[in-house]
C-alpha cells in the first residue's frame, strides 16, 4: 500500500497536490494562496521539515512570478 505522506514529509498528499498542480500549470498567485493556507492552517510548528518544504515552494512561486 502506498504511503499517503510521501510528498512533503508530515503533510498528506491531498493537501500538497493542489499546490504542485498550481505550480506546474504556472498559476503562481493561486500557488501562493495555497502555500500560505498550508502554512497557517495545517503545518504545526513542530513539523520543521514540512515547513521548510512549503516555504521553499512559496519561494519558488515568488521567484518564478514577478510578484514582490
Q: What is the pLDDT of residues 47-59, one digit of tens each?
A: 777 788 888 889 9
Res 14: pLDDT: 82
Q: Where are the domains of the chain?
A: 13-64
Q: What is the pLDDT of residues 4-43, one digit of tens each?
A: 555 555 677 788 889 999 999 999 999 999 998 888 887 6
Q: How far apart are CA 33 and CA 46, in angstroms?
A: 22
Beta bridge partners of 11: 8
- pLDDT of residue 66 exceeding 70, the answer is yes
Amino acid at each position: 500500500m502506498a504511503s499517503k505522506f510521501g510528498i512533503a514529509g508530515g503533510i498528506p498528499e491531498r493537501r500538497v497536490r493542489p499546490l504542485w498542480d498550481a505550480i506546474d500549470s504556472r498559476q503562481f498567485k493561486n500557488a501562493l494562496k495555497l502555500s500560505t493556507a498550508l502554512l497557517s492552517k495545517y503545518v504545526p510548528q513542530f513539523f520543521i521539515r514540512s515547513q521548510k518544504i512549503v516555504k521553499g515552494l512559496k519561494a519558488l512561486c515568488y521567484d518564478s512570478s514577478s510578484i514582490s
